[in-house]
Amino acid sequence: MTSPEISLHQSLDLGLDGGTLTARLVDFPSVSGSEGPLADAVEAALRAYPHLTVDRYGNNVVARTNLGRSERVLLAGHLDTVPIADNVPSHVEGDLLYGCGTSDMKSGVAVQLRLAATLPDPNRDLTFVFYDCEEIEASRNGLGHLVARHPDWLAADFAVLMEPSGAMVEGGCQGTLRVDVKLTGTRAHSARSWLGDNAIHKAGEVLRRLEAYQPRRVEIDGLEYREGLNANLISGGVAANVIPDECVVHVNFRYAPDRTEAEAVEHVREVLAGFEVVVTDSAPGALPGLDQPAARAFLAAVGGEARAKFGWTDVARFSALGVPAVNYGPGDPNLAHKRDEHCSLAAIAEVEARLRAWLTAN
């Protein structure tokens, strides 16, 4: 439920501390597809700062410094949330701010806005990207629309996607490939099963191979990626008294970013050799790019140990543009999309402080 005193046309005060600004953003509902008012407020707030050039495409807002620095860093975050589940407006309990989007990822957006407003003279040129529709089907993803229509706005040497990462650097992301394995046979009445050819039984060998499969662990730029090859869905059969003539096993391969999409397909076809494998979905991984100068400086500045990102995220879109990218945000990835979603106020302050230190160091 949205509290009635919340105005959808309120302005955003970027002088607030990160935690308070996060609360304001959470109390400004922006479920996927209805980000317009929040994008308006973000655009208006940023246009107040003369050191920023602000562009807008749809409900995507891009603010940039143009100081002629030798490196450019991009910080990106999505404005939308999953549907509200009785968890708006926000509330604070001790160090924790509760509410829809606290973790995923209005805390990250608050840090972006704070840095945009308060870094008129950073050591690297900065690009801040706020986009819509990340939580829904890929075809509506605002960052994807910017890649297609305004790739020049996204030019950078390094990108930080401020998705929840527990205030740790998560490098790159794994690729994901979905295939259907189709088994076919011949129908017959169950009472005369020898006249048929059971398609479900044939799935036994597919599942046996998947069960026996030893997923690879591989180190890239010092990060360990763990792959996985799994049957996630299976269905087969016609009726309880019919020998089935079809069974489909839906298999998902999550692979380290040193494989290309084509190599991932080839690998799955090898594992399931002899079976009909149909690719239904494919998204490439993203290399962590931690060997880049900007990334090395970033890692040194934010400290802590980097780890591999396993889920697929929009860093892959930057990777496809040739921009190394990492995930780094104050939210807790395990709380995303949950009713009791919350974020540590200390983590918001810490992430902002570390990024500020990195972007102002001499």
Residue linked to tokens 């046996």: 208
Shortest Cβ 89–a copy of itself spacing (Å) = 29
- CA gap 72, 126 in Å, rounded: 6
**Tokens representing 177?**
């490939």
For residue 89, cis peptide bond before it (omega within 30 degrees of 0): yes
Q: Are 254 and 173 in contact (CB under 8 A)?
A: no
CB closer to a copy of itself out of 21 and 315: 315
CB closer to a copy of itself out of 155 and 271: 271
Active site residue 221: no
Catalytic residue (one of 27, 132, 134, 332)? 134
Report the candidate in 80, 79, 97, 99 with the shortest Cα–Cα distance to residue 89.
99
Task: Tell me how far apart the terminal alpha carbons of the chain are, to the nearest angstrom.
Answer: 47
Report the candidate in 163, 178, 179 with the shortest Cα–Cα distance to residue 316.
163
Shortest Cβ 270–a copy of itself spacing (Å) = 18
Positions touching a copy of itself (CB under 8 A) are 174, 176, 178, 189-194, 198, 200-208, 210-211, 215, 226, 228, 230-244, 247, 249-250, 252, 254, 281, 310-312
DSSP for residue 81: B
Catalytic residue (one of 35, 80, 163, 170)? 80
Interhelix angle 107-118/36-47, nearest 10 degrees: 20
CB closer to a copy of itself out of 10 and 235: 235
**Tokens representing 125?**
């040129």
Residue linked to tokens 């934010």: 302
Residue linked to tokens 């009445």: 189
Shortest Cβ 314–a copy of itself spacing (Å) = 14
Shortest Cβ 262–a copy of itself spacing (Å) = 21
CB closer to a copy of itself out of 49 and 310: 310
CB closer to a copy of itself out of 275 and 310: 310
Active site residue 80: yes
Report the candidate in 302, 261, 264 with the shortest Cα–Cα distance to residue 283.
261
CB closer to a copy of itself out of 148 and 240: 240
Q: What share of the chain is helix, strand, coil (3-state, %, to 5)?
A: 35, 25, 40
Strand partners, 178: 252, 281
Shortest Cβ 111–a copy of itself spacing (Å) = 25
Q: How far, in whole angstroms, is CA 230 from its chain's centroid?
A: 21
Shortest Cβ 275–a copy of itself spacing (Å) = 13
**Tokens representing 92?**
């604070």
Please give the positions annotated as active site. Answer: 80, 134
